[in-house]
Structure formats: structure tokens, C-alpha cells
Structure 1
Amino acid sequence: MPGPDDPDPAGAAGRGDPARGHERTGRSTQQTTGRTPSGSANAQGAHMTQPAPEVMPGLEPPSVPAAGERAEDGGGAAPRPARLAGPGGAALQLQLDAFLARAGESLIGFRRDLHMYPELGYAEHRTTRRIAERLAEAGLRPRILPRGTGLICDIGPEEGPTVALRADIDALPLQDEKDVAYRSTVPGVAHACGHDVHTAMVLGAGLFLAQQARAGLLPGRVRLLFQPAEETPGGALDVMAAGGIAGVDRAFALHCDPRIEVGQLGLRTGPITAACDKVYVKVTGPGGHTARPHLTADLVYALAKIVTELPSALSRRVDPRSSLSLVWGRVAAGSVANAIPDDGIAEGTVRCLDDEAWHRAPEMMKALLHSVAAAYDVEASLEYVRGVPPTVNEAASVQMFRDAAAQVIGDEAAVPTPQSLGGEDFGWYLESIPGALARLGVRTPGSATEYDLHRGDFDVDESCIGVGVRVLTATALTALWDGGRQGESEPVEGAALA
């Protein structure tokens, strides 16, 4: 399908070296698998570029707070991010209106095309090609990731702060159960989590911002991250390994939420999604006859104790506010009623809202497992598979979302949203750089029908795409201007304080 027809300007290639970490501990009694980022990205700290005299009136940068001026919330807090208010907000609205009048239908068509041809994690070759084609048509230079799926694209000048907008592009292994013209044509694969919508929104925001960059209206750089394999997970780490967040000052993402109506943006400071890991416990013993459990190790009883005692013991080793939880999904042992088996297994998930507790969880669980197993004279081994860290939203970045939504949707657009114990690999980015994930309303206002995520009948009110383009665009601009002001006002390291 034809895509948005708005140019333009060429963006610079991504900067920074790839960075990826990989951690594993020995497997005799415990194995911890998973990939972790190798460290924080380097903030650039560059000054923003002031717009040229011919910039459209009203889109000049907001006034810089006077020296010594502080936020009114006290306690030495950082200044509240100023929005592009007044004439600036009005001019931005007009330009977004004009852009979406031209490109809105083709963005919906682009989303429907992705929806009809969904691809699983690390198989998103067609999806990647379609995104790259649209960006190249606008004069941009997308850079495909080394594994061949997912891409990075920079917009605007290298000078000044850099803001990243992220979209995940993979689908789920579910059958599409909707009766719509754009129903999935791939058996057993569907965009049931809204990643096609996320992709269309970031593409639309990128095309609009490219237009702004060509006019000299960007005070820095916007980096588009079209990430593969969010559901697998692991795609975020591939983006990071390719230098995707090197030099990035803040990162933002939207995620569809069918519980929220179109035109609303769900915001939360602090943890918004949880860490999600998988655990595999294997218990072994000599086995024997159920008539003589005292002559062997009663393995089923020991496994039952492990399954019931570990969750409560683990939760009491950390601050209750971390919401660390262990829930079993599969337990199996034995094949007949009168024989004590010689092995058994338990599989489950660990979820957590606190980053420190998440990092401590494997060693705590290993110690507790061995303690319980020793009491019943069985051997127990643990394989702990890292998933994703909690997604912890930075307060200043959440405020940028709030200010942006007020500009381009309305003052009542931002609504509170609850914490979720679901996993989201956007958390990998936020372990290294500040940023925020917000929930975008996709339910038709007034509709009694609700489509939950990860269901075969999931769908959205497609007017949400235009709302998402507006929010992402305004958030990126707000963050660029604010990043420049903060860079200019930071004290020189080592300078004496008054």
C-alpha cells in the first residue's frame, strides 16, 4: 500500500560503538541465562541549536528560566519541563493537522498492511523492508540491524540533545480471529499486541519530524528505533548492541492499551511494567516404594514443599514494595501411584517491580531452594533464565509526555495508569538512559466492547494512530528543547557552589 508522501531530510548515521553484555553462572546447581546491557549510554551534553531567523513564528524555543529560578515543588527538584505553549503549541497543532490530513489514511493503510502480513521475532524481514522503504522515500537513511531485522534511523542535526522514539515490530504466535478485511493472512501468527500500530505511529512521527528538520526546526536529533523481537524477548539488546542508544539522552515509547479510550494517555512515574524471568527447578533422589518412604527420600513430598515454601520465603527476603513474586506454571513427578519417583520438575515465573530486587533474585532463590531440599535429603538444581528488567519511568520524562499530551490532545488527556506485572523489554533501555513508556488509549470512546492484549480478537480504533503521532512528535520536541536548556544550565564539574 502507498505510504505517507511527506519528505524528507537525510539523517546522520548512528553514532557510538555496539555494546552488549552476557551473563551466565555455573550450571551444577544454578544456571542464570540472559543478556544484559554492558553499561550506561554516554550523554552528549551538547548545547541545542537555536532556530534560524526564518523559523515560523511561535515555534521558537520556550524562554529559558532565569538564573537561580527553581521549580515550585521545592526540595531542590529539577525545573519542570516547559511545554511548547502558547503560539508554539498552536503552530505545532496546525502543522500536525495538515500533515495528518495528507498522511493519516496512508498510515492506517500501512498499519493494515503489517497486520495482514505479521512476522514473529527475528523473522520480520518484510516488515523491516516496508519500514525502510517508507523512510528512504522521505530522504532518510535507515540502518538495518546486523541480524537483518529491525532498523535505526536518525533525523536532524547531530548537534544538540538526542531523543529516541521506539516501536516494536514483531507479532505473536496466535491465530487472528477477527472478521475484518485486514485479517492476518499468516496461519497462527497475528499482531495481537498492537506492534503494527506502534510501528505506524513512530513512522508517522518520524516523517513529520523529518519535514521539520528540513525546515531547520529541530534543535537536536531524533532517533527512530524499530525494534525486532520484543515478544521473544531480546530485540532491545540487539538495538543496544548496534549502538542504538549510544548518545541518546532520553527514550520514549507508546504501548496500546485497550482499557483506555482513544484520546487518552495513561501515565505513571516509577515502575510501570515488571521484570519477568523463568525458573526451572529439578529435584532428584533415589526413588523407592511408597510403602517405605523412610528408607528413601520422599521426592514428591519434597517437591511439594519446594513449590509451596519458596514463593512465600522469597517474598520475605525483599522489601514488600518490590512486588517480587514467584508463581509456578507446571509441576510434574512420577508415573504411578505406588512408586516414589527419582526426579521431578517445577517451572514458573519470577516477576518484580524493583530493579535491585530483580538483580538479587537468582542468588536468593538458589539459597532458599537448597535449604528446603536439604531438609528432605533430595538434590535440587535451579536454572534461572533472565527475561526483561522492570520498566521504570523517570519523573521528568513522564512530565514531558504529560505536557506534550496537553499541547496536542488536551489538558484532560493524561490519565493515571496502574502498574502491570507483565514484561516489556523497553526496560532494558531505561536501565541505561532516562525515559518513559506511556499507554495509548485504543478503545473507541463509549464502546462497551473490550479487546484485551494477546488475544486473537484484539483490535484497535485506528484513529489512535493519529493521536499517537501527535503525542510522540510533541514529546520529542519537548524533550529536545528541554534537553538543550538542561545542558546549558548544568554547572561545570568541579566548580565551587555558592
Structure 2
Amino acid sequence: MSLESEVDLPGGAVLPGALPDALRAELIAFRRDLHMHPELGNQEFRTTAAIKERLERAGLKPRVLTVGTGLVCDIGVEGEQWDGGPSMLAMRADIDGLPIPDTKSECPYRSTVPDRAHACGHDVHTTVVLGAGLVLAELHKQGLLPRPVRLIFQPAEEVLPGGAADVIKCGALEGVGAIIAVHCDPRVDAGQVGLREGPITSACDRLEIALNGPGGHTARPHLTTDLVTAAARVVTDVPALVGRRFDSRSGLAITWGRVESGHAPNVIPQHAELSGTVRCLDIEAWRQAPDVVVAAIDEIANLYRAKSEINYVRGVPPVVNEPGVTELLRDAMIARRGVDSVVGTEQSLGGEDFSWYLEHVPGAMARLGVRTPGERHVRDLHQGDFDVDESAIKVGVELFTAAALVDGLR
């Protein structure tokens, strides 16, 4: 279906489930409360309790995951738990924050936890799935929910290789036929979502390196291992060397985030540490990356007689949106908010553990616009001043509720 076309629902059906103003205000307050109390991966006890309490007030029966944080909740199935009936449409939210300070000095709902912030929009993702669940629960009571739905509130998305693997082990995908998610995008206007079939994020691994040598005096580097120079050459030469061993279209990129060595200007140190990320657009190149990257590091280190210890931490593969589920999100958004509400989007080099779900069931992730229309300053993700236009919450709820309804009408 082209973006220029309208969605013709069977029988000219009109989608129910508009977000009431009172619930919209409640959801904004809920999001602000989460924003003030961010919790790191696998420590989201307060967040889990808040979600659970609100779902229970709606008459639902959420189940806390056996890992201790996060929860799932079924809507529209017998006994509020899947019994082998029609497959469910799952809606996933990640609930953890980041270990960085909130720098929004004038914001009344800035983080109250030192060096912790919801700087990636997980508070919005959580609120959107909660709001969709509350609306769909009410529609189910009215007999208007055509397909069962599972809400998944996942811990530890920011912790490689991601909490999704633990959620899957807990059985959260049992009975699920498809899964959808949103991710905040500060480069898309609030009121719109960005969609793309195929890869929409990239693979992301973590790289940790220790270099060691005997050390010595800076006056005599020829008698020892010049470890600082060795570390510098690893930083500059390894990305270039690896880049020549992959097709440039794979988009493989090594970027360093930390380099540490030495304490005195006239002493060659005995130890250096480097850490960074390996990101890749292509899944086949990602599968080959550990062997190639490790070999390149060893080659450079050996040139400078440094001993290397390498910890290559596997992260996540790319999120690859399945065409049918992407089309469902497109149909849902257009049916609810019109053709102009959907825009194209590019594959990013960001990593997302939503990809692990897609190893098991078809699914798609949409980019939820959170930029105030007309705003020129972009508050980027993973920055301490990140914030959103809160009208995006209503848009996300409408997208998810419409997806459940449109899917059932197909």
C-alpha cells in the first residue's frame, strides 16, 4: 500500500478506542512520575510495581516476570492468560533508564535520582503500552476487541545483550503471533511515526581491550613496550583495517568510548584499557565481526609488542521489520490519523534488543515522533537534556490500539 492511499476498513468500519482526555492527562502524569524515578536495568522494582498497580485497578491480571522485574499482561483471553486460542498481538515496552545525570535544570519533572535519567524515552514507551492496554481492556469489556493482546513490559534493554532474551525465556512469546513496538525519535515531529520495511536499526556489540607491557622510562621507549603508542595505534588503525576487510555497504563501524593509560608524563605505563562499540548494518557481516575484529586488534598489538586481552561482548542483531507487520502499523496509523501521519525513515546505527523477539515471531518497530513541530533544537537520545513533546503519548496509544483493531478486521 502506498503512503498516498487511504485505508478502507471492511464494511466501512470506524475505529473505536479514542483516548479520553482524562486518561490522556493521567498518562502524562504517569510518564512524568517514571521520568522522575528512573531505574537501571534489572533494578526496575518501583517501575514494575507502578505498572502492575495501574493494570490491576483496570481489572487486569499482570504477571511479574520470574527475573524479578518487568511484567506481562494478557487482554481478551480466557482467564486473562492464553489457553491455546487465537494468537495474540504483543505490544512491547522497555522500562529501564540510563546511568547518566539529568541536566534539564528548569524541568519540574527532572530526575530525582543522581546520575540516572530516562534519556532514551523508555518512560514514554512504557506509558504508551500501558495506555493502549487500558483502552483495549475497556474495548474488551464492550465486546469490541477482535484479537487477544499481550502487553510486555521488558527490563534491561540498555544492558547488553538486552533483557529481551530473559523475557523470551520466561515464556512471554508463547501464543504470540506478531509483536510491535515504538521507539522515540527526536528527529520526527510529534503526530507522526516513521516506518520502514526491513532493517531499521543495526547490530551493536561491545568491545573491551586490555593491553599490557613491562613499562619503563619515556627516555628509553626502544627498551620496552611503548604502551601508550600501542593503544593509540589500536584506536586509529583497527577501525581502518577492519573497514578494508568488509564490504563497505555492510556499514560496520568501530567507535571508541573510553581510553585509559598511565599516571605520569615521564613513565611508560604497564597497562592500558580501551572500550567501545562495534555497529553493523548487515546481519551477515555482524556474524563474522568478532573473528575479524579480534584478529585486527592482535595484529596491531603485536606490531608494538603489547600483549592483548580482548573481551568481545555480543550485543544485538539488527531489528528487521517484517513487511506484513510494518503494513499493519502503516494501516493503523493512517486509519487513525491520516496519510500525513506516516513518514519514511532510514536505518540507524543504533542497537535495540527488540531484535531478539523477531528471531521468534514476525514484528515491526515504529519510530514515534517526539519533536515539537517547528522546533529547531533537537534533544538527542542518550543526552542528559533529552525530553519529548508529550502529545506523542496520545499518538503512540492511538497507533497501538488501532493496530489491534485493524489487525482483527483484516
**Structure 2 match to 1:227:** 154
CA distance in 1, matches of 2:372, 2:235: 43
Say if 1:290 and 1:340, in contact at 8 Å, map to a contact too: yes
**Structure 2 match to 1:107:** 27
**Structure 1 match to 2:17:** 96
Asked if 1:408 is matched to 2:332, the reply is no
Asked if 1:458 is matched to 2:404, the reply is no
> What CA deviation, in whole Å up to 9, does each residue of 1:242-266 have, x standing for no partner?
1112332221111122221121111
Q: How far did 1:176 drift?
A: 4.9
Q: How far did 1:212 drift?
A: 2.7
Asked if 1:261 is matched to 2:181, the reply is no
Letter in 2 for 1:171: G
Say if 2:17 and 2:139, in contact at 8 Å, map to a contact too: no
Letter in 2 for 1:256: C
**Structure 1 match to 2:111:** 184
Equivalences for 1:86-485 in 2 at 5 Å?
Answer: 88-89=12-13, 91-92=14-15, 95-97=16-18, 99-157=19-77, 158=82, 159-173=85-99, 174-233=101-160, 234-290=162-218, 293-337=221-265, 339-482=267-410
- Cα 1:305/1:247, change in 2 over 3 Å: same
Indicate the structure (1 or 2) with the bigger Cα radius of gyration: 1
Say if 1:271 and 1:391, in contact at 8 Å, map to a contact too: yes
CA distance in 2, matches of 1:210, 1:320: 48
CA distance in 2, matches of 1:299, 1:454: 32
In structure 1, runs of 5+ residues without a counterpart are: 1-70, 73-81, 483-498
Say if 2:230 and 2:301, in contact at 8 Å, map to a contact too: yes
**Structure 2 match to 1:85:** 9
> What CA deviation, in whole Å up to 9, does each residue of 1:3-26 have, x standing for no partner?
xxxxxxxxxxxxxxxxxxxxxxxx
Task: Give the secondary structure class of the aligned counterpart of 2:176.
Answer: coil
Equivalences for 1:483-498 in 2 at 5 Å?
Answer: none
**Structure 2 match to 1:64:** none
**Structure 2 match to 1:61:** none
**Structure 2 match to 1:53:** none
Say if 1:274 and 1:352, in contact at 8 Å, map to a contact too: yes
Q: How far did 1:336 drift?
A: 4.5
Task: Give the secondary structure class of the aligned counterpart of 1:427.
Answer: helix
Letter in 2 for 1:85: L
- Cα 1:105/1:302, change in 2 over 3 Å: closer
In structure 2, runs of 5+ residues without a counterpart are: none
Q: How far did 1:392 drift?
A: 1.9
TM-score if structure 2 supplies the norm length?
Answer: 0.88
CA distance in 1, matches of 2:264, 2:343: 55
Say if 1:268 and 1:418, in contact at 8 Å, map to a contact too: yes
- Cα 1:449/1:290, change in 2 over 3 Å: closer
Q: How many residues align?
A: 399
TM-score if structure 1 supplies the norm length?
Answer: 0.73
Q: How far did 1:431 drift?
A: 2.7
> What CA deviation, in whole Å up to 9, does each residue of 1:116-147 have, x standing for no partner?
33323222222211211221122211000123
Q: How far did 1:162 drift?
A: 1.7
- Cα 1:307/1:132, change in 2 over 3 Å: same
Task: Give the secondary structure class of the aligned counterpart of 2:289.
Answer: helix
- Cα 1:357/1:296, change in 2 over 3 Å: same
CA distance in 1, matches of 2:252, 2:113: 38
Q: How far did 1:351 drift?
A: 1.0
Letter in 1 for 2:208: Y
Identity of aligned residues (%): 54
Say if 2:9 and 2:406, in contact at 8 Å, map to a contact too: no
> What CA deviation, in whole Å up to 9, does each residue of 1:457-491 have, x standing for no partner?
32222222111111111123334555xxxxxxxxx
